[in-house]
């Protein structure tokens, strides 16, 4: 899978993930949950793209869809400008997964408790025929050391590690097959602050050392500001603003982005009056018409209630908001 110099490593166009809700004796369809509803994203080689939003915004569903770990109802996913990810058969999909891996939020749930750390790291190497015998043992030891663990830890089981160590093990497993892209879904949210800093430092170190590309999913804008190059703000399955990290935090244009930043540890560097973020995200089974944020927006206009806003270019990115149309 060769990459041309100008092509994104991964590109999503119009991606939708809709789930039918069934109930009753005959499992009759009662409605459709629009978890992701028409997302366009692209990630350049070596870049860290952060996807942010509240719980229920569709972040994790989108992350899984990008790697075809979950269903995609509509849209397209392309790899290195030429490979149609959604058209891959089982064999080709396995080959693709060597290049694109995922780190999940809960390392204890994503690591099989019946297997030792050594087995968990050796398994993907064996599946992709990358090492065997003495070379396999050496590679497992190198992976453990690369994430700050000891070769002696190969004999331990997941429950024998601390939370931070388990996440390091999960990262090592994702890196075992030497991927180009890692999708990290809230990789530090379950860790305490001191351990968060260590794991984030590790991710940044590995990115530079191995020239990795990340899609970093998080609700913590303080973390996002530290680690990302570009940010996509997701609300009710829609990207409402996307921009280079520096521009986004200095001058958020969408009221939702503004409220998220002001409510986070990242703060608002411009000292703007606080925009209250009240209420909860509407049900993705019954999304509002027009702008998806209109039911909670303190700056809502009449047009917001009836028409979806067009994309408008902004410094370093774009925004979908009638205030800037």
Contacts of residue 70, Cβ cutoff 8 Å, sequence gap at least 6? 17, 61, 64
pLDDT at 270: 54
pTM as predicted: 0.90
Q: Which two tokens stand for residue 217?
A: 């999913």
Confidence of residue 274 (pLDDT cuts 50, 70, 90): low
| For residue 167, pLDDT beyond 50 | yes
Distance between CA atoms of residues 115 and 123, nearest Å: 10
Q: Is the dihedral of CA 101, 105, 111, 112 positive or negative?
A: negative
Nearest C-alpha neighbor of 229 from the set 25, 44, 23, 5: 44
Backbone phi, psi, residue 50, to 5°: -95, 135
Write down the mean pLDDT value for the chain.
Answer: 90
Per residue in 302-320, pLDDT (tens digit) is: 999 999 999 999 888 999 9
Task: List C-alpha distances in Å: 320 to 252, 253, 291.
Answer: 12, 9, 9
pLDDT given at position 46: 94
Band of pLDDT at residue 1, cut at 50, 70 and 90: very low
Residue 208 has pLDDT above 70, yes or no: yes
* pLDDT, average across residues 195-206: 89
Please write the tens of the pLDDT for every residue from 225-239. 999 999 999 999 999
182-196: pLDDT as tens digits: 999 998 887 888 888
Backbone angles phi, psi at 20, to 5 degrees: -80, 135
pLDDT at 296: 94
Question: CA 40, CA 185: separation in Å to the nearest integer?
Answer: 18
User: What percent of the chain has a predicted confidence (pLDDT) above 90?
Assistant: 73
**Helix (H, G, I), strand (E, B), or coil: what is residue 117?**
helix
Please determine, for residue 267, whether its predicted confidence score (pLDDT) is greater than 60: no
59 to 96, 312, 313: CA distances (angstroms): 22, 23, 23
User: Is the pLDDT assigned to residue 249 strictly greater than 70?
Assistant: yes
- The pLDDT score that the predictor gives to residue 2 is 43
pLDDT value, residue 258:
93
pLDDT for 21-58, tens place per residue?
A: 877 777 777 789 999 999 999 999 999 999 999 988 99
Per-residue tokens: 71: 């269903």
Gap between the Cα atoms of 246 and 132, Å rounded: 45
Q: Which CATH architecture has domain 10-114+157-324?
A: 3-Layer(aba) Sandwich (3.40)
Question: In which element (H, E) is residue 282 found?
Answer: none
What residue spans define the domains of the chain? 10-114+157-324
Cβ atoms 188, 168 nearer than 8 A = no
Is the pLDDT reported for residue 4 higher than 60? no
Length of the chain: 325
Q: Is 244 exposed, middle or buried (0-12, 13-18, 19+ CB in 10 A)?
A: middle
């Amino acid at each position: 899978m060769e990459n041309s110099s100008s092509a994104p490593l991964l590109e999503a166009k119009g991606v939708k993930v809709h789930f039918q809700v069934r109930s009753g004796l005959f499992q009759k369809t009662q409605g459709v949950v629009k978890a992701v509803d028409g997302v366009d994203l692209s990630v350049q080689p070596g870049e860290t793209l952060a996807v942010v939003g509240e719980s229920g915004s569709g972040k994790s569903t989108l992350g899984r869809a990008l790697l075809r770990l979950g269903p995609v109802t509509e849209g397209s996913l392309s790899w290195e400008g030429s490979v149609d990810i959604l058209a891959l058969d089982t064999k080709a999909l396995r080959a693709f997964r060597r290049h694109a891996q995922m780190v999940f939020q809960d390392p204890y749930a994503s690591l099989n408790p019946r297997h030792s750390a050594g087995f968990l790291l050796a398994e993907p190497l064996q599946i992709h025929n990358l090492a065997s015998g003495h070379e396999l043992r050496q590679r497992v030891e190198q992976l453990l050391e690369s994430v700050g663990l000891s070769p002696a830890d190969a004999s331990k089981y997941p429950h024998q590690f601390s939370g931070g160590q388990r996440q390091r093990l999960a990262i090592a497993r994702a890196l075992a097959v030497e991927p180009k892209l890692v999708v990290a879904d809230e990789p530090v949210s379950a860790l305490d602050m001191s351990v968060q800093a260590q794991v984030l430092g590790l991710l940044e170190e590995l990115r530079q050392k191995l020239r990795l590309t990340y899609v970093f999913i998080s609700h913590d804008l303080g973390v996002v500001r530290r680690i990302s190059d570009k940010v996509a703000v997701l609300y009710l399955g829609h990207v409402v603003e996307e921009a280079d990290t520096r521009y986004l935090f200095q001058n958020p244009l969408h009221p939702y982005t503004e409220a998220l930043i002001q409510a986070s540890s990242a703060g608002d560097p411009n000292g703007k009056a606080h925009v209250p973020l009240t209420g909860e995200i509407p049900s993705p089974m019954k999304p509002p018409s027009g702008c998806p944020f209109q039911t909670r927006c303190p700056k809502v206009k009449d047009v917001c209630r009836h028409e979806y806003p067009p994309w408008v270019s902004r410094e370093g990115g774009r925004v979908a908001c009638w205030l800037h149309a």
